[in-house]
C-alpha cells in the first residue's frame, strides 16, 4: 500500500493568466523543461489534485495545468458563458496558443478524458499522445449505474443546475468536516481508504469552493456529453487506465473505449477506485512513461501506431 504520510510534492510552478475568446480569465500553471505534457483535471478539481503525477513527469517533461473556468483561480466574466465539454477543450487549446505550444501529450483524469478527446476532435494534429485515466468518453453515469438509476441521477443533475444550493451545501459540509467526507467517500469506495488523504481533501475543498454555476453547469454538460463517435478515428498513441473498483467509470467502460481506439493500450489496476492516481500512482508511471515515449518518439502527426 502507498505511504499515506508522504507530503504533497512542492512543485515550482510559475503562474500565468490566459483570457479566452469569450472573456474567461484562466489560471495556468507551468513547470519543468522538455517535451510538454498537458494535464486535464477532474470536474471542480484544481491543480493539487494531479501534483503527484506532475511531480513524476517533471524529471523529463514540461508540465502545463490550468483551472477550469469557474474553478479555483480562474475567473468568469459578467454574463453567461458556456460550460460545454468542447468549450473546456477550446480553453485548453487557447492555453497552448498563449504559451506558444504547438503539439503536446495530454493526460486526462475523469472529466479530463472527454476534454482531451474534444481537443483531438478540434485539432487532432496537436495531440501527440492521449492518456485516459479513470474516465469515460461520454455519458459517465450510464456507465456507472443501471439505466433507471442513471436517469434519476440525470434528473438530480438537471435540478442542481437550476437550484444548486442543496448540492453546494453538501460539498461545503464535506470541506468543513474532512473526517466525515473521508469516512463517507471511502465507505462507498468512491475513493480507496489507501489514497493520499491530503490530496483528496484538497480536491474536496476545491470542488466546494468552485463557482456553483460553473460546477453544476459543467456537470450538466458532462452527463450528456459523448465523444464515443470519435474513438475509431484516433491515430495518436493512446493509453486507457481503469480501476478494478472504480464504479464511477467502471472497467467495462474502459475496455469498450480501448477496443474502439486503434492500437490502444489498456491497463486495469486491481484494488483501485476512481482516485487511482492518488492511490497507486507509482503503478501508473511505467505505462504513462511508455505512452509518452511513443508519443514524442515520432515526428509524423496522426501516424497509426500499435501497442507494444
Q: Is 225 exposed, middle or buried (0-12, 13-18, 19+ CB in 10 A)?
A: buried
pLDDT in tens, 251-292: 999 999 999 999 999 999 999 999 999 998 888 999 999 999
Q: What is the mean pLDDT of the segment spanning 99-118?
A: 97
Name the DSSP class of 30. Answer: E
Q: Closest Cα to residue 159, out of 103, 114, 216, 214? A: 216
pLDDT in tens, 140-157: 776 666 555 555 655 666
C-beta separation of 63 from 57 below 8 A: yes
Q: Which residue has the cell 464511477?
A: 248
Query: C-alpha grid cell for residue 177?
Result: 468536516
2 vs 250: which has the higher pLDDT: 250
pLDDT score for 179: 83
pLDDT score for 2: 46
C-beta separation of 127 from 116 below 8 A: yes
- Express as a percent the part of the chain with pLDDT over 90: 64
Give the residues across from 109 on adjacent strands: 133
Q: H or E element: which one contains 36?
A: strand 36-40
C-beta separation of 69 from 93 below 8 A: no
C-beta separation of 43 from 218 below 8 A: yes
Q: Provide the pLDDT confidence category of residue 306 given band limits of 50, 70 and 90.
A: very low
pLDDT score for 7: 67
Q: Produce one character per residue of 118-143: b if its CB has 16 or more CB atoms within 10 Å, e if not.
A: bbbbebeebbbbbbbbbbbbbbbbbb
Query: C-alpha grid cell for residue 82?
Result: 458556456
pLDDT in tens, 163-203: 565 566 666 666 776 788 888 888 888 899 889 888 999 99
Phi and psi (nearest 5°) for 277? -65, -35
Q: What is the mean pLDDT of the segment spanning 124-146?
A: 87
pLDDT score for 192: 92
pLDDT at 14 over 80: yes
The span from the CA of 106 to the CA of 190, in Å, is 25
pLDDT in tens, 74-92: 999 999 999 999 999 999 9
pLDDT score for 307: 32
pLDDT at 132 over 60: yes
Q: Which residue has the cell 479530463?
A: 112
C-beta separation of 210 from 167 below 8 A: no
Q: Closest Cα to residue 137, out of 254, 46, 42? A: 254
Domains of the chain: 14-296 (3.40.50.1820)
The span from the CA of 277 to the CA of 273, in Å, is 9
User: What angle do helix axes 212-224 and 165-176 make, rounded to 10 degrees?
Assistant: 110
Q: What is the mean pLDDT of the segment spanning 9-33?
A: 95
Query: C-alpha grid cell for residue 11?
Result: 512543485
Amino acid at each position: 500500500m502507498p505511504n499515506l504520510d508522504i507530503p504533497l510534492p512542492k512543485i515550482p510552478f510559475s503562474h500565468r493568466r490566459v483570457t479566452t475568446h469569450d472573456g474567461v480569465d484562466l489560471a495556468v500553471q507551468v513547470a519543468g523543461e522538455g517535451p510538454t505534457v498537458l494535464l486535464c483535471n477532474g470536474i471542480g478539481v484544481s491543480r493539487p489534485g494531479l501534483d503527484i503525477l506532475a511531480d513524476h513527469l517533471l524529471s523529463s517533461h514540461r508540465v502545463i495545468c490550468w483551472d477550469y473556468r469557474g474553478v479555483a483561480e480562474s475567473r468568469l466574466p459578467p454574463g453567461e458563458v458556456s460550460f460545454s465539454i468542447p468549450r473546456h477543450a477550446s480553453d485548453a487549446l487557447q492555453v497552448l496558443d498563449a504559451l506558444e505550444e504547438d503539439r503536446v501529450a495530454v493526460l486526462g483524469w475523469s472529466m479530463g478524458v472527454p476534454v482531451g478527446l474534444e481537443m483531438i476532435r478540434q485539432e487532432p494534429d496537436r495531440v501527440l499522445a492521449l492518456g485516459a485515466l479513470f474516465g469515460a468518453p461520454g455519458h459517465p453515469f450510464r456507465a456507472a449505474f443501471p439505466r433507471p438509476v442513471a436517469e434519476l441521477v440525470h434528473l438530480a443533475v438537471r435540478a442542481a443546475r437550476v437550484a444548486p444550493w442543496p448540492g453546494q451545501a453538501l460539498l461545503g459540509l464535506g470541506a468543513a468536516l474532512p473526517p466525515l467526507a473521508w469516512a463517507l467517500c471511502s465507505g462507498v469506495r468512491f475513493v480507496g481508504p489507501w489514497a493520499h488523504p491530503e490530496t483528496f481533501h484538497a480536491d474536496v475543498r476545491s470542488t466546494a469552493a468552485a463557482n456553483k454555476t460553473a460546477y453544476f453547469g459543467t456537470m450538466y454538460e458532462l452527463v450528456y456529453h459523448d465523444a464515443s463517435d470519435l474513438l475509431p478515428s484516433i491515430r495518436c498513441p493512446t493509453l486507457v487506465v481503469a480501476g478494478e473498483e472504480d464504479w464511477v467509470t467502471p472497467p467495462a467502460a474502459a475496455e469498450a473505449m480501448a477496443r474502439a481506439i486503434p492500437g490502444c493500450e489498456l491497463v486495469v489496476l486491481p484494488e483501485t477506485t476512481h482516485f487511482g492516481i492518488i492511490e497507486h500512482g507509482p503503478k501508473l508511471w511505467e505505462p504513462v512513461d511508455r505512452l509518452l515515449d511513443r508519443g514524442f518518439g515520432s515526428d509524423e502527426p496522426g501516424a497509426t501506431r500499435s501497442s507494444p
